[in-house]
Amino acid sequence: MPVRTGEDRFDGGPIGRRRFSSDLLLHGGPERYGARVACVFLEHPASLEHDTAAYRGQDVVMHPEHARRIVAIERELSARDWLGFERLQAPAVDRSVLGAVHPEPYVASIERLCASGGGYLDMDTVVSERSFEAALHSAGGAVRMVELLLDGEASAAFSSHRPPGHHALPSQAMGFCLFNNIAVAARYALDARHLERVMILDWDVHHGNGTNQIFHASKQVLFVSIHQSPLFPGTGAADDVGEGEGIGFTVNLPVPAGSGDEVWVSLVEHVVVPLAGAFEPQLVLISAGYDAHRDDPLADCSVTDEGFAAMAHAVAGACEGLAAPVGGVLEGGYALASLGRSVAATLQAFSRPTGDPGSASAPKTGVAPIAREARDRLAQWWPQLGQRNARPG
């Protein structure tokens, strides 16, 4: 199927940096410091120019991680008037900020491969001439998001870029990922902004092996991943709990194929939220992949739009209680319509963290057996999750 570039355009009009409108000040996110603070959606047209299609003679072999994912998200959000989010253009990441995770020779190797016209980094990770620029803005979006959250300019935000990041290792691209966008942003929060506790929740259906490895020995980053197992990339067993002083700060929650809302939402409500309460993060970042959706072609879980809404509500509600800002960074998600709806559900939850009046933060699910097992396992590092502290539900 030929790639039609006509579709690959933002449909919401020109984008660029704008001041927060008075409308957003009146109707935006939660109260903070006596004034309402906006919710922000970060984007950049370079995301559309990272071309992953393989050209084999006359045939174009489509790749699931393509530009229409971003178009589908923007089309859905545009139809919903952007859910009150302020759209901002993401800058390219500062090379020294990127360098805190990715050694310069690796960055330069990606730059050179793109400048030469592109090529394959592994069997399913491919770059084109403009991929380097896209990757700089994808990482830059995550970093700018953290700046806005920590400066109090946004209470919640979402960085919607490609390529995704959570599989990328410091000097190795993999799983469609070039730079580990969320790790670069978390590293920036720790190093440049002197935060001491950052929580990363990775709800992409694949294990975030790159982020897991980068913060494996750190007690400053609580990395929690829910992922289908067995599945690519094969890491993320429950007994991988970190190393050195980071033991207990890597939390892997593998789930079997077929797992749906009951399992995924229960793990968020009864494991992730109590972990957040115990760790007291100053910032919460979500590796927000949507490939656990039941419509997704790359995996076998069955999370629905409502499941993503419930997970986002649970996390956003916990963040509000902890006065921690929350930001989502797009990872996977390959069923276009479901991707658009589920990102919209996430944004809606971010802007109304406690939902409708009366429905505030009560768990929607019981404690699934897999969540009970995880709590028992984690109680040695996080006593708040142990038996005697179990809440009914």
Binding stretches for Zn ion (CB under 5 A): 204, 206, 289, 291, 332
Containing H/E element for 369?
A: helix 369-378
Rounded Cα distance between 288 and 164, Å, is 10
Whether the CB-CB separation of 267 and 374 falls below 8 Å is answered with yes
Whether the CB-CB separation of 327 and 145 falls below 8 Å is answered with yes
A 10 A CB-CB count for 139 gives 34
Rounded Cα distance between 121 and 129, Å, is 14
The nearest distance, CB 166 to Zn ion, in angstroms, is 8
Tokens read off for 359? 């429905």
Q: Which is nearer to Zn ion, 86 or 240 (CB)?
A: 240
Among Zn ion, ligand SP5, none, partner that 175 touches (CB below 5 to 8 angstroms by kind): ligand SP5
For 317, residues 6+ apart whose C-beta sits below 8 A from its C-beta are 273, 353, 354, 355, 360, 361
Give the residue closest to Zn ion by C-beta: 332
Among ligand SP5, Zn ion, none, partner that 308 touches (CB below 5 to 8 angstroms by kind): none
Rounded Cα distance between 393 and 376, Å, is 16
> CA–CA distance from 338 to each of 304, 332, 364 (Å)?
8, 12, 22
Query: How many residues appear in the chain?
Result: 393
Name the site residues for ligand SP5 (rule: CB under 6 A): 122-124, 164, 167, 175-177, 204, 206, 232, 289, 291, 298, 331-332
The nearest distance, CB 169 to Zn ion, in angstroms, is 16
Which residues are bridge partners to 293 per DSSP? 303
Q: Which is nearer to ligand SP5, 299 or 324 (CB)?
A: 299
Among Zn ion, ligand SP5, none, partner that 324 touches (CB below 5 to 8 angstroms by kind): none
Q: Which is nearer to Zn ion, 282 or 302 (CB)?
A: 302
Has 167 been annotated as catalytic? Answer: yes
Residue with tokens 């995704």: 164
- What is the secondary structure of 282-297 as a DSSP string? SEEEEEE--TTBTT-S
Q: Which is nearer to Zn ion, 132 or 203 (CB)?
A: 203
Q: Which is nearer to ligand SP5, 178 or 368 (CB)?
A: 178
Catalytic residue among 44, 50, 66, 167: 167
The nearest distance, CB 278 to Zn ion, in angstroms, is 27
The nearest distance, CB 218 to ligand SP5, in angstroms, is 22
The nearest distance, CB 289 to ligand SP5, in angstroms, is 5
Q: Which is nearer to ligand SP5, 143 or 182 (CB)?
A: 182
Among Zn ion, ligand SP5, none, partner that 123 touches (CB below 5 to 8 angstroms by kind): ligand SP5
Q: What are phi and psi of 271, to 5 degrees?
A: -125, -55
Please tell me whether the peptide bond between 233 and the residue prior to it is cis, using omega within 30 degrees of 0: yes
Q: Which is nearer to ligand SP5, 228 or 304 (CB)?
A: 228
The nearest distance, CB 254 to ligand SP5, in angstroms, is 16
The nearest distance, CB 176 to Zn ion, in angstroms, is 8
> CA–CA distance from 179 to each of 136, 170, 296, 326 (Å)?
8, 8, 24, 21
Rounded Cα distance between 269 and 271, Å, is 6
Among ligand SP5, Zn ion, none, partner that 232 touches (CB below 5 to 8 angstroms by kind): ligand SP5
Rounded Cα distance between 225 and 214, Å, is 14
Tokens read off for 175? 């799983």
- What is the secondary structure of 73-84 as a DSSP string? HHHHHHHTGGGG
Among ligand SP5, Zn ion, none, partner that 122 touches (CB below 5 to 8 angstroms by kind): ligand SP5
Active-site residues: which are they? Answer: 167
